[in-house]
Amino acid sequence: MSNLWAQNKITFTIQANKPTATVASTMWGLFFEDINLGADGGLYAELVKNRSFEFDTPLMGWKINSAKDVMYGFYFGSDIQLINQPDKAATNPRFIRVALHKTKKGELSLTNEGFRGMGIKKNLRYEFSVFYRQQTATAMLHAELITEKGDIIGSAVLAPEQTDNRWHKVEMSLTALATEPKANLRLWFEGSGIVDLDMISLFPTDTWKGRKGGLRADLVQMLADMKPGFVRFPGGCIVEGRDLAQRYQWKKTIGPLEERKLIINRWNNEVKTRPVPDYFQSFGLGFLEYFQLCEDIGAEPLPILNCGMACQVNTAELIPLESLDPYVQDALDLIEFANGDGSTPWGKLRADLGHPAPFQLKMLGVGNENFGLPYVERFKRFQQAIQRQYPSVKLVGSTGLLSSGEMFETTNADLRKLKVDIVDEHNYSAPQWFLQNAGRYDHYDRSSTTKVFVGEYAAQSVGMTNPTNKNNWRTALAEAAYMTGLERNADIVQMASYAPLLAHVDGWQWKPDLIWFDNLGVMATPNYYVQQLFGANKGNQVVPMLDKNKLPVTGQDSLYASATLDKAASELIVKVVNAGGKAQSIEANIDGLRKLPLTAKVIMLQNNDLEAENSFTSPAIIAPIESIVNVQNKRLKVDLKGYSFVVMRIKL
């Protein structure tokens, strides 16, 4: 115990009356990518996997129970046929045809396994929907929720009525009788006739804002609680694609769900030790939904678009400059889609899709982790076209995978010559790197008009990107120390986001990740709490916090610190990281404060063990703890425990 408490007293000065920079409202935000089942199987609340039979293996995720269709474990397609009609429906050509001949219960059924099972909650209503087509109304369709053991915990029956041989969507509700983390959905048939089925879907009704076909409320709440200034979407490497055919194309992600063409997810086979053959992008969470999410949680949208280059660590395919126009046009059209009024074609489409008000898009990213001359040449084309038509939209340019080295230096310099508004830097390094780089932006060129977006960063416990990484306290504490440096340099660094954001415990490819979830619940990592504390205690003006030598606090005595003012709340916010195991007593003289005795709210994250992690069973090993300290004679005195991060809020 004794060594946890203060031995030395270290003094600082906080010049609360001398603001040096404005903290951008976008300072702390979110990086969202459909990785680790982040969208399909995660945020997007659809429970049926491969609902439209468009996976490369069309019946993946489905199990057919039929004596005629399955023999020796092989599917033959007799009473349940898989039909492929690309000439009739180019974006969703496959469906199943069920042939019934006085079929009785138990003879013919189809079971969907969900994304690592389906999380089903007792007493919650679920909405089942399906597209059907038939010529006679003599078939019955039963839907059942079944547990891993095979018990039925919810059921409903449907008699499709329309007989015009056209597609109809029909819905029905099932209420769950029990909670089950890994349920399945079974459909069984009885009667006679032929019925075609497609887009078989099951959604919980407790989605975010109760929206039909919406997002998982618990996950969105976690994001909202971070008070993000922006959301960067849809990635990440899925923007670029393994090759250009697999790049993310926003126009294919809007409009009727059944027309959104599914493609493979780049993370399906990217990490050889973590193959996920059932990982595809349904685009149920598409660009309209992303914009809506941003609006809901009060974050600026930051879409990132493909720049005519596939991922440079995969195929590195390039679109020749003379053929780049469609890519540039996609960007122009996206701005019109987000901001145009109903008199513009894309603005009208947004209104027709249910959102007449513009989304006020202010920023757009061109390329993800692209670098080198081919990138800069392409970026320039986008920049010219966008500046001409939409001069107020700020552009974010990529500096590549790494934030040092020749490729970074040259791409960064070239982009700055183009006077790009914001450059995106990525950092996945050892915790030590984050500590050592807490002063990185103290020395940046302040004559450049280009600002910095630290678009992806996360301390890697094993020193490099690797599936054995952990979300331990060591990594979170190092990130907190680094973030004090970002905040102190808010005149340069105007945006930052941890990456990746979400990971399903049974379906991840990449570690570490900010928020872990399973089918029923969510777990905040220590890294999450660090991000949340910065987001919720941002302030809007930086004020100097200096050591006795009048230097910023970037590791002296293992301490890292920054301070801001929250003008609206009239509060001074001080953030201090003690990265050492020894307790330390700090005393900060606050210039510009009244002499009256005041109190400060202190929020602390701490653990004596740098290897400590949160888990689903012990989610608060590292979690915020609040207390109050006195501030007398303009002096803030705090005993910092070893390995701690504290945020202090003092009413001015």
Query: How many residues form the binding site for ligand AHR (CB under 6 A)?
Result: 12
Q: Which residue is nearest to ligand AHR (CB)?
A: 236
Q: Does 34 bind ligand AHR (CB under 6 A)?
A: no
Nearest to ligand AHR of 371, 473 (CB atom): 371
From the list 49-57, 187-195, 230-238, 292-300, the region that binds ligand AHR by CB under 6 A is 230-238
Tell me which stretch binds ligand AHR (CB under 6 A): 233-241, 293-301, 444-452, 567-575.
233-241
Q: Is 259 a catalytic residue?
A: no
Does residue 36 belong to the site contacting ligand AHR (CB under 6 A)? Answer: no
| Degrees to nearest 5, angle at CA 494 with 491 and 495 | 155
Task: Give the Cα separation of 494 and 8 in Å (integer).
Answer: 35
The pairing of strands 30-31 and 230-233 is parallel
The closest of 638, 651, 513, 493 to 577, measured between CA atoms, is 638
Catalytic residue among 54, 300, 369, 479: 369
**110 or 423: CB nearest ligand AHR:** 423
Q: By CB under 6 A, is residue 510 in contact with ligand AHR?
A: yes
Is 525 in contact with 513 (CB distance < 8 Å)?
yes
Q: What x/- string results for residues 380 through 419 when contact with ligand AHR is judged by CB under 6 A?
A: ---------------------x------------------
How many angstroms separate the CA atoms of 407 and 39, rounded?
A: 32
One residue of 29, 33, 310, 328 binding ligand AHR per CB under 6 A: 33
Does 235 contact ligand AHR by CB under 6 A? yes
Least spacing, CB of residue 236 vs ligand AHR, in Å: 3
- Pick the closer one to ligand AHR by CB: 513 or 613: 513
- Tokens standing for residue 41: 């199987």
Under rule CB under 6 A, residue 499 binds ligand AHR: yes
> Would you say 101 and 66 are in contact if contact means Cβ atoms under 8 Å apart?
no
Judged by CB under 6 A, the residue of 236, 308, 367, 400 near ligand AHR is 236
Distance CA 419, CA 438 (A): 26
Report in angstroms how near the CB of residue 210 gets to ligand AHR at its nearest: 31
198/369 with CB nearer ligand AHR: 369
Cα dist. 211→221, 257, 292, 602 in Å? 14, 15, 11, 38
DSSP 24: P
CA dist 385 and 443 (Å) reads 33
User: Which DSSP string corresponds to 283-316?
Assistant: -SS-HHHHHHHHHHTT-EEEEEE--SB--TTTT-
In three-state form (DSSP H/G/I as H, E/B as E, the rest C), the secondary structure along 476-521 is HHHHHHHHHHHHHCCCCEEEEEECCCEEECCCCCCCCCCEEECCCC
Q: Could you tell me the two tokens for 58?
A: 């069309």
Q: Shortest distance, CB of residue 369 to ligand AHR, whole angstroms?
A: 5
The length of the chain, given as a count of residues = 652
* Residue 316 CB, nearest approach to ligand AHR (Å): 14
Q: How far is CA 529 from CA 171, 225, 601, in A?
A: 40, 10, 17
Give the per-residue contact string, 447-466, with ligand AHR (x = CB under 6 A; - = no). Answer: ---------x----------
Q: Considering only residues 350-369, where is the footprint of ligand AHR by CB under 6 A?
A: 368-369
Work out whether 301 is an interface residue with ligand AHR (CB under 6 A). no
CB of 31 to ligand AHR, least distance (A): 7
The catalytic residue positions are: 369
Q: Which residues of the shown chain bind ligand AHR in the complex (CB under 6 A)?
A: 33, 35, 235-237, 368-369, 401, 456, 499-500, 510
